[in-house]
Amino acid sequence: MSDPPETSLRATLEALLFAAPEPLTPAEIREVLPDATPEQIERELAALSKDYEQPGRGVRISFAAGGYRITTRREQSGALERLFQSRNRSRMSQAALETLAVVAYRQPITGPEIQELRGVNSQGVLKTLLDRRLIRILGRKAVVGRPLLYGTTRDFLLHFELGSLTELPKVEELQEALPEPAEQASLNGAARQTAPASDETITVSAEPAEEDEAGELEPHP
């Protein structure tokens, strides 16, 4: 006896979310399942998400960066952290987290502006964040010296399970996790300006960055 259509669709959606390396957008799901209506897909995704919310489950369905994916539950963070540590996967330093917060709240922002906020040279930390694909080079600011502008990436949204930058937590919420006065001051400064700069101040490049002779990351023209 074959499964009911809804059960079959639900199982297919579960398999797609499990196998997909990136979150699946509603449009991508409809493309893969042309025989299912948008209403059926939405209903079965909701039912599948409810199934995963049952007690005793280690994963759940989440929506981030415009798509659905299967993620681990926060209660399992301790075991997962031990797993990653056992595989020698390095965690981000406090300096990297602080710099990333400044970029997230003040983007587009230049290296000198980040240094002014943090009070220390952040060039090495910025390279680490670029290597991890949590930030990217947007272009150059139209001021003397034309410093590079930095902003966050789609991987940043995925890492922190954000649908968009508008879902960034308020600084007050971050301060609870960062009790040191210096860290609070940095985050307070980062949150004061979140509006993007105008097109006149940014030259956006779609090409990947490369290092110039001075070791600075340079966008292709």
The tokens describing 109, both together, are 């922002």
Q: How far is CA 175 from the centre of its chain?
A: 20
Q: How many other C-beta atoms can be found within 10 angstroms of the C-beta atom of residue 157?
A: 21
Most confidently predicted of 21-25, 87-91, 133-137, 201-205: 133-137
Judge residue 122's burial from the number of C-beta atoms within 10 Å of its C-beta, 0-12 exposed, 13-18 middle, 19 or more buried.
buried
User: For residue 54, is pLDDT > 70?
Assistant: yes
Between 101 and 2, residue with greater pLDDT: 101
CATH number of 5-76: 1.10.10.10
Between 216 and 23, residue with greater pLDDT: 23
> Does the fold of domain 94-219 match that of domain 5-76?
yes
For 152-157, which contacts have Cβ atoms below 8 Å and span 24 or more sequence positions?
152/100, 152/103, 152/104, 152/107, 154/65, 156/100, 156/104, 157/64, 157/65
Cut 0.75: pTM above it = no
C-alpha closest to that of 158 among 25, 49, 52, 27: 25
What CATH fold (topology level) applies to the domain 94-219? Arc Repressor Mutant, subunit A (1.10.10)
Where are the chain's structural domains? 5-76, 94-219
pLDDT for 137 equals 94
Residues across the chain: 221
